Chains A and B, each alone.
Chain A
């Protein structure tokens, strides 16, 4: 019953957000929001550019890559010298090289894979200056790329697709900072910690326990962690800890925040191309897949944990291993699905201890390419790539040159879309094959049997899709996993962004063909079905063999323990 009303409240809140945040973001990126112009103008003069200086897609992509590399460099530097920087009450030393590299790559790609325990590795300076800074920047990089790609559809005969520096400035000032600040107040009001005073040691007179409570600027990092689809928390155990996610209300707010921007961007898309129906069609495809996965995974987590049942304890409250009492089984599953299908990767439970089919729900949610609704921006540009493939297939069926929003989809566009859709599966499967083939890779898993393989597959799928959630049993802080993971994350990010921007550039240069009677409709139920089909078929065909060796074998091994 709780799950039902939780979802009802979520749907209502997200519907309002979709409409208003969606149109607000359109206004921001089209330059019609000015209430912070006093801050915007000095930034442009420092940057030596402005809205009037448009860029070609190549310049845009170049700016994006150089900026990402510089931000990654700043982060790496801060982590390496944190021992000499202020705001370090626990006197933590430098973060090792491989771990710093992995972490810098992880946060700049919006992945937030964490091979470290936050409270025992990172100083407050690093948590704020390196990690939270990237948590603000990386979702806006994703949104900027998506907006630039959409300009390819909304513009005609245009050599340019916007200015990267302007899009970044507007996104930072008008979207992430203000919304995160408001959400942060709720987290702290509910009990999330927000202090710079350092850990505190307390002694309880009742039970004689002396303990050190880790503290820090946690609550407001939590806000941008969820809003920006980052997922990397201050503390090692992420949203499961009461200090990050104290109550059922903050748990709901987390789910809401991480879905807000990715869903709303479909409205932004519709408004920019002058057809809300087209945005709603993409939203429809996202919602159908997301809804099915929520139902499946919640059901799976409401069953018994096989090991606990075998020990003689039968549960009416689902699989409780690795879950917090205050959230319950099905809401935790909802959180997990929302987190894995948005490239957020935050966790309010131990995903490693989900039932085999619950873990299957999380893993496959990422394997669908993070498009339902996907990450900040990355969800929109990736589902547009799938939509172009769907249009191409639809065009083949009716024997006409396919069009999408009046733009002819020809060989070049389909090649770019194919590249964008195939990069992630190839990268993930290749690095997984490497990891299971060599000793350093096989040394990682905590669990034996098929679950051990799933831990490796999950880790590399998560990083390749810039998700960042984990089957936490895997020991990832080794030279091998730090380096291969960083490569996985960077390719999974940049190798999709570049085809997306190229598509934007190529499409912007085209004129619009007026729609006729024979035009294949791309805003109706039929098209929604086609997009869903493309997403499921590409994901299913590429990953079924790998998944069948992991969670499916585990599910079918009745009565066996590993």
Chain B
């Protein structure tokens, strides 16, 4: 198993680590037993995601998928962000080892949950 350079870059220099104060949406997925927990925060203005941050407990792939997800959603509308699939994340990272694909699924789910949370507060 070897990570792509892109994965290593996001692991070594993760983008947007941290929490957002008064976020408009939070997505929390995973559990310690399976080895990955992701927490994604979004700030939304006029239906556009203006800021995204993450905190992740997990392996190199979990950290890299969270990091790139925050990059991918920034500037996107809620509808666009919602459509970002785990495949898109894998592509953006120049691939992930097969046994690490579940990390990309986790990142997709975390973002969907953050959006769900945002919508539940803005009905």
A joins B in a complex: no
Residues of A within 8 A of B (CB): none
